[in-house]
Structure formats: structure tokens, C-alpha cells
């Protein structure tokens, strides 16, 4: 499975962006979005199970970000609203075949190439 992330860009604080992650084959059971800011470790942002019913979020993005998936289109989305300067990072989508959302990067087998999100204050 290959993952392709897109949708990043340069926006102002308070703006919105929607990231997309397209899978080359069947989308893995569990999908997640991670981000990595310069000089920091990669961190979990959001995760979603196969049915889309179960979701998990980093505390600092709860209420602002929404993860969703369209399995028929092999695509996962991250809607980001009310963006803040501290959201600036490279965002990566990731997937794993096992059920169960994990916040650990080591749990995910498949990774996209990353898309840059820059929020100016």
C-alpha cells in the first residue's frame, strides 16, 4: 500500500485547510495523521478506525480538526479549522492493517510522504 498526502499550504491563523491521503490499494484498517515541526518529534494528531465510527485526537486539536474516511475512494481526510501558528508542521498520513487506533509512530506500517502546513500569525 502506498499513501499519498496532499492539501497542505500557507494560510493565516484562523483559516482552514483540508488534507487528503489517497491509498494506492485498499485503505488500511486503521489510519492516522501525524505531524512533525522543526526540531520536534513526530506526534499523533488524529486516528480513525475502519468503519469511521471510532476516532481519536491530540488534545490540542480537539474541536478544531476532524478526521474522516471514504473507503470506497481509498481516501482519508483531515479537516483543519481555526488553524494556529503552532499547527505549523509537515503532516503525514499513516496506516496499519490491524484494528485499534494507536498514537505511536512505531505501530504504523505505511507512511505517506508528508505535506507542509504553514500557519502565519
Residue 71: phi, psi to the nearest 5?
-65, -35
pLDDT at position 78 is 98
Tell me the C-alpha to C-alpha distance, in Å, between residue 50 and each of 29, 30, 41, 84, 104: 5, 6, 27, 29, 18
Tell me what pLDDT residue 21 has.
Answer: 98
Average pLDDT over residues 36-59: 97
Tens of pLDDT, residues 66-108 = 999 999 999 999 999 999 999 999 999 999 999 999 999 999 9
Assess whether pLDDT exceeds 90 at residue 31: yes
Dist CA 32 CA 48 (whole Å): 6
10's grid cell: 500557507
pLDDT band for position 25 (50/70/90)?
A: confident
Phi/psi for 55 (5° steps) reads -140, 155
Contact 48, 76 (CB under 8 A): yes
pLDDT value at position 49?
97
Strands annotated E in the chain: 3-6, 9-12, 17-23, 30-36, 43-48, 55-57, 65-70, 75-80, 89-96, 110-111, 115-120
Confidence of residue 26 (pLDDT cuts 50, 70, 90): confident
Q: Name the average pLDDT for the chain.
A: 97
Amino acid at each position: 500500500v502506498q499513501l499519498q498526502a496532499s492539501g497542505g499550504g500557507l494560510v493565516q491563523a484562523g483559516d482552514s485547510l483540508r488534507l487528503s491521503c489517497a491509498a494506492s490499494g485498499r485503505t488500511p484498517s486503521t489510519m492516522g495523521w501525524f505531524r512533525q515541526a522543526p526540531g520536534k518529534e513526530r506526534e499523533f494528531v488524529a486516528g480513525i478506525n475502519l468503519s469511521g465510527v471510532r476516532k481519536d485526537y491530540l488534545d490540542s486539536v480537539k474541536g478544531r480538526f476532524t478526521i474522516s474516511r471514504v473507503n470506497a475512494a481509498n481516501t482519508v481526510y483531515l479537516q483543519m479549522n481555526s488553524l494556529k501558528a503552532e499547527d505549523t508542521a509537515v503532516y503525514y498520513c499513516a496506516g496499519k492493517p490491524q484494528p485499534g487506533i494507536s498514537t505511536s509512530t512505531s505501530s504504523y506500517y505505511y507512511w505517506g510522504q508528508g505535506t507542509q502546513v504553514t500557519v502565519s500569525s
